[in-house]
Amino acid sequence: MSLWDVVSAEWLPLLLGAIAAYLLGSFSPAIIVGKLFAKGDIRNMGSGNAGATNVLRSLGALPAILTTLGDLAKSIGAVLLGQWLVNNLGAHLNSTRGDLIAMYLAGALCIVGHLYPVYYGFRGGKGVMATLGMMLVLDWRVALTALAFFILVVVLTQYVSLGSMLAGVVMTITTFLYRYYADKSSLSVAIGCTFGAAVITVMVIIKHRQNIVRLIHGTENKLSLGKDKKKKEETHG
Identify the pLDDT of residue 31. 97
Over the stretch 142-197, which tens digit does the pLDDT of each residue have? 999 999 999 999 999 999 999 999 999 999 999 999 999 999 999 999 999 999 99
Residue type (1 letter), 72: L
- Enclosing domain of residue 189: 139-224
Kindly indicate the confidence band of residue 91, based on its pLDDT and cuts at 50, 70 and 90: low
Tens-digit pLDDT profile for residues 94-148:
554 678 888 999 999 999 999 999 999 999 999 999 999 999 999 999 999 999 9
Task: Clarify whether residues 100 and 78 are in a common domain.
Answer: yes
pLDDT at res. 126: 95
Residue 219 has pLDDT above 80, yes or no: yes
- Is there a domain that residue 173 lies in? yes
98-115 helix and 187-207 helix, angle to the nearest 10 degrees? 0
- Inside any domain, residue 89: yes
Q: How many residues does the chain have?
A: 237
* 88 pLDDT tier (thresholds 50, 70, 90): confident
Domain count, the chain: 2
Q: Do 117 and 147 fall within a single domain? A: no
Residues 109, 146: one domain? no
Q: What is the pLDDT of residue 167?
A: 98
One domain for residues 100 and 143? no
100 and 191 share a domain? no
pLDDT tens for residues 30-62?
Answer: 999 999 999 999 999 988 999 998 999 899 999
The predicted pLDDT at position 235 comes to 42
Distance CA 28, CA 42 (A): 10
Of the three residues 96, 125, 154, the one that is the final residue of a domain is 125
**Does residue 232 form part of some domain?**
no
Residue 190 sits in the same domain as residue 110: no
**DSSP labels, 95-162:** STTHHHHHHHHHHHHHHHHHHS-GGGTT----SHHHHHHHHHHH-HHHHHHHHHHHHHHHHHH--HHH
Considering the entire predicted model, what is its pTM? 0.87
Note whether 17 and 69 are same-domain residues: yes
Look at residue 184 and tell me if it is in a domain. yes
Asked, for residue 130, whether it belongs to a domain, the answer is no
Q: Are residues 104 and 205 in the same domain?
A: no
